[in-house]
Amino acid sequence: MAGAFLTITPSGYEPVLEQLQRYYEKSGDLRPVLADIGEMLLTSHRERWQDEQAPDGTPWQPLSEETIERKGHDLILREHDYLRDMLNYQVDPLALYFGTPEEYGEYHQFGMGVPERAWLGASAADQQQVLDLVGAYLEGEAS
């Protein structure tokens, strides 16, 4: 699949996956909680985009003087906000797919021919929000 997407794997996300497993055992369908996680990730990514920072909080590398002169502004990855606005998610009963269909998203994410400006990922705060969301769903199911 073309584009840039976020994959949550067991490495580093064990608490999230354990909570999701517990919710799945109770409900048999992760779509409701995964849709809420997708919305939260959209909001988080848009806020970081506005702040021009990576998921780990580091600022994006500034534009070169040449690029600023050519574009007439110093906003990073904001020419038309197309990449940011193409962020989306899809859910199915067992998975959340989050990212962009735009192939050039990976060029910026990984510095392929352009300065690396990581924009896709889950921050520590995002991970905590996911735990809180899943916890709220678990409590709602238990009630």
Question: Which amino acid is it at 58?
Answer: T
Three-state DSSP class for residue 90: strand
Q: What is the pLDDT of residue 81?
A: 87
Which run of H or E residues covers position 50? helix 31-51
Q: What is the pLDDT of residue 141?
A: 57
Mean pLDDT for each consecutive 10-residue tract of the chain (143 residues)? 57 78 90 96 96 96 94 90 92 90 88 92 92 90 43
- What are 29-65's pLDDT values in tens digits? 999 999 999 999 999 999 999 999 999 999 999 999 9
Three-state DSSP class for residue 81: coil
Q: What is the pLDDT of residue 105?
A: 87
Three-state DSSP class for residue 13: coil
Q: What is the pLDDT of residue 142?
A: 38
Domain range for 44: 4-142
Q: What is the pLDDT of residue 32?
A: 95
CA–centroid distance for 84 within its chain: 11
How many structural domains compose the chain?
A: 1
